[in-house]
Structure 1
Amino acid sequence: MPARADGLHLVSLCAGIGGIDLGFHRAGIPTVAAVEIDPAARGVLADRFPETVLFEDLTKVTADDLISVGVVPERTVVAVGWPCQGNSSRGRRQGLDDPRSGLWMHVARLLAELHPRWFVGENVPGLLSVNDGRDFATVLADLAELGMDSAWRVLDARGFGVPHRRRRLVLVGHFGDRTAPVRVLLEPDRVPGHPHPHHPPTPATPAAPAGSAGASRGGGERGGLTTWAPAYSHSLVSHGGNDKQDPSMVTYVVQPDTGPRRLTPLECERLQGFPDDWTATSNARGQADKLRYAQLGNTVAVPVFEWIARRLLAVDSEAVTA
């Protein structure tokens, strides 16, 4: 989808396999440029977004580089799901001192250089508490120093039509309208305890038979066998599907005649809201399952960011017509 002459477009940093990009694409916002250092993930981007200009290293990309490939700052949304390892409750929690999560400084640098219209950031909720909240305060202070007003909210993928527990902190920033980020993240027609108007409440799940792994029934993968699984999958993680993965954090599918098995890469794609086989190739070559598991564990739930993009468009159009 080429950039419209008068519309918003996306610059995607730490783009991974393009979960944020796909959500924005579905809402009508194309990705002009993306930055991703992992060659396999960048190959997925090349296959799925052939019109997007790809850069490799966030620490070296400048605003001039982005402008040279067609980025127009006043129409740009900069989005980033920067590495979460330093903030995760499952890591050492070094926060911004972790060289991976510390890439935030380069995000802030690019925002200062480019001065885009909007900013959308994603990370784990642990960012709110790591180092007693001081690191999140640093992120907010960096945005404020740039003159950007911001708001944040923790969103769970299972509220957006996918059976997947995945809570993520979403941060929205805007130059020039201090209420705009709040209006993106908080819909006026929604109050606590009420279902989203576009997503009816999940129906009660039937009781599972004795010995099954959960309570939700679906069609089997092999020979039409009945498959039983939890109502919601655990949050996918990026261990590459190896046997060292903590079994308490893995969703298993139990089949009566074959026993438990892990989710397949295809099923993980569906849990994250991607089209089937999104990660099957990288640079038009087939990928090993281990790479696909890692990529899908590191990405975002696409429907969450489609919703963010549509809310952002609605609020942006209000500002334009005001």
Structure 2
Amino acid sequence: MRSVGLFAGIGGFELGLQRAGIATELLSEYWAPAAEVLSHRLDVEVVGDIRTLDAIPEVDVVTAGFPCTDLSQVGRTAGIDGSESGLVREAFRLIEQNPPRWVVLENVPNMLNLAGGRAMSFIAQWFEDRGWNWAYRTVDSQYFGVRQRRRRVFFVASRSDDPRSVLFADEAGIPRRRDDHSAYGFYWTEGNRGVGWGDGVTPTLKGGSKIGIASPPAVWRVAGPAGEAIARPSIRAGERLQGFRAGWTDLGAKEGVRWKMVGNAVSVPVAAWVGSGLVTPRDPVAVDRRLLEPGDRWPAAAASIGGSREAWSLSERPLVARGGPSLDALLAQHGSIPLSRGASSGFYRRLQASTLRVREDFRVALKEHVEVCAS
């Protein structure tokens, strides 16, 4: 099987599909730093602006992790008609000219809710109007062996096959919560209304600002020494948190630019799971489902076969991932940077002034970190 990657970023989809045995034929990526990574790391032709691409080759799979800028809760929320997220129409133009067997889209879960789910409605209707079956499922990267909580919607469509056999064939259910992790992630930039707390994982890596200001999360390493227990991951650790090898984006770009590339990427092991379903489709699992009526809110998972829409009761955890290094061990191996006095004291002040409930031992560790940094 062969694929074309649109809005390819730094190749998360492609690495995952290649692990499943799907070769990459062509990539399109507009942003120069990301395109440079693709050119150096993957032996594939890379073209620029999708709007200047006249056609795509005949392949089995087309992927498009189209921009989330206008759909994200922390973005502009302009919706599917925004100047960036609306570029998915360019992908549709190319797909309609030369339809593949499979189409795979990826974006943020807010696309199911923003403006009454207008983005999801537009995408679903586009495929149904042209006789395609589709299915989508919200999944979380932390259940695929990486130490990052990252919820994303994966949408698979086909004119000839049942996409439920790709996304709905695995179901592991949500595991029981543990309170004995060696490290916990949080957003040090917050503290007024939330902290993005992660049990043994970081919160979602963000792309940062358009001018390359990095915004990696922070981690509390429970047994870490004073002054180092509150830290942020190195960019090499950040690459591992997305399933790339450490150093994948190390081609001379500034750290902020590298964080933006990593934060915008598709998690490699999730793409590999999707790819395995494309190569070897299997019967969907037996779970509760119901008709999805016009006007219903978009659920976490749904499908349309022959134009009949159904909501499926599926968790965000398809698999029981094989064991990997803990968040603490990952930072020990690939590096972390103690959170600065200004950053940690600002977060602590906001947290103290808020009504947010956090673990008391975390509050104590944070206070100690601020005091050590000030001495």
Deviations 1:111-142 (CA, angstroms, capped at 9, x unpaired): 11111111000000111111111221111111
| Aligned amino acid, residue 200 of structure 2 | A
The aligned residue for residue 320 of structure 2 is none
| Aligned amino acid, residue 167 of structure 1 | R
Summarize the alignment of residues 22-41 of structure 1 with structure 2, pairs less than 5 Å apart.
22-41=15-34
Q: How many residues align?
A: 265
Does 2:202 match 1:233?
A: yes
| Aligned amino acid, residue 62 of structure 1 | D
- Which of 268, 289, 304 is the matching residue for 2:270? 304
- Which of 250, 264, 286 is the matching residue for 2:217? 250
Structure 1 position 230, deviation (Å)? 4.7
TM-score (norm 2): 0.66
Does 2:33 match 1:62?
A: no
- Which of 154, 159, 163 is the matching residue for 1:181? 163
Summarize the alignment of residues 36-55 of structure 1 with structure 2, pairs less than 5 Å apart.
36-50=29-43, 52-55=44-47
SS at match of 1:292: helix
Does 2:285 match 1:315?
A: no
- Would the aligned equivalents of 1:76 and 1:118 in 2 still touch at CA under 8 Å? yes
SS at match of 1:214: strand
The aligned residue for residue 245 of structure 2 is 275
Structure 1 position 97, deviation (Å)? 1.9
- Would the aligned equivalents of 1:108 and 1:143 in 2 still touch at CA under 8 Å? no
The aligned residue for residue 65 of structure 2 is 81
| Aligned amino acid, residue 3 of structure 2 | L
Does 2:257 match 1:291?
A: yes
Deviations 1:28-62 (CA, angstroms, capped at 9, x unpaired): 11111000001110000011112x11110111112
SS at match of 1:163: coil
- Would the aligned equivalents of 2:111 and 2:118 in 1 still touch at CA under 8 Å? no
Output the CA distance in 2 between the equivalents of 1:49 and 1:42. Answer: 10
Relative to structure 1, is the Cα distance of residues 123 and 300 closer, same or farther in structure 2, using a 3 angstrom cutoff? same
Output the CA distance in 2 between the equivalents of 1:118 and 1:48. Answer: 25
- Would the aligned equivalents of 1:253 and 1:263 in 2 still touch at CA under 8 Å? no
| Aligned amino acid, residue 160 of structure 1 | F
Structure 1 position 27, deviation (Å)? 1.0
- Would the aligned equivalents of 1:62 and 1:113 in 2 still touch at CA under 8 Å? no
- Would the aligned equivalents of 1:86 and 1:98 in 2 still touch at CA under 8 Å? yes
- Which of 100, 121, 145 is the matching residue for 1:161? 145
Instruction: Name the Cα RMSD after superposition.
Output: 2.3
- Which of 4, 13, 25 is the matching residue for 2:6? 13
Considering only CA atoms, is the larger Rg found in Structure 1 or Structure 2? 2
Structure 1 position 145, deviation (Å)? 2.2
Output the CA distance in 2 between the equivalents of 1:88 and 1:161. Answer: 24
- Would the aligned equivalents of 1:205 and 1:231 in 2 still touch at CA under 8 Å? no
Deviations 1:79-135 (CA, angstroms, capped at 9, x unpaired): 010000111111231111210001011111111111111100000011111111122
| Aligned amino acid, residue 206 of structure 1 | D
Deviations 1:273-317 (CA, angstroms, capped at 9, x unpaired): 111211112xxxx2221111010000011000100000110029x
Does 2:249 match 1:265?
A: no
Output the CA distance in 2 between the equivalents of 1:60 and 1:207. Answer: 49
Structure 1 position 202, deviation (Å)? 8.5
The aligned residue for residue 170 of structure 1 is 154
Output the CA distance in 1 between the equivalents of 2:29 and 2:171. Answer: 37
Deviations 1:151-207 (CA, angstroms, capped at 9, x unpaired): 100010011111110000000001123xx20110011xx44637xxxxxx6895636
The aligned residue for residue 115 of structure 1 is 99
- Would the aligned equivalents of 1:11 and 1:31 in 2 still touch at CA under 8 Å? yes
Deviations 1:55-83 (CA, angstroms, capped at 9, x unpaired): 101111122xx3xxxx3x2x420001000
Greater shift in the superposed pair: 27-36 or 139-148: 139-148
- Would the aligned equivalents of 2:30 and 2:49 in 1 still touch at CA under 8 Å? yes
The aligned residue for residue 180 of structure 2 is 206
SS at match of 2:10: coil
- Would the aligned equivalents of 1:85 and 1:93 in 2 still touch at CA under 8 Å? yes
Output the CA distance in 1 between the equivalents of 2:159 and 2:96. Answer: 11
Output the CA distance in 2 between the equivalents of 1:146 and 1:44. Answer: 35
TM-score (norm 1): 0.77
The aligned residue for residue 80 of structure 2 is 96
SS at match of 2:137: strand
SS at match of 1:59: helix
SS at match of 1:144: helix
Query: 5+ unaligned residues in a row in structure 2: which ranges?
Result: 186-197, 283-375
Output the CA distance in 1 between the equivalents of 2:3 and 2:28. Answer: 11
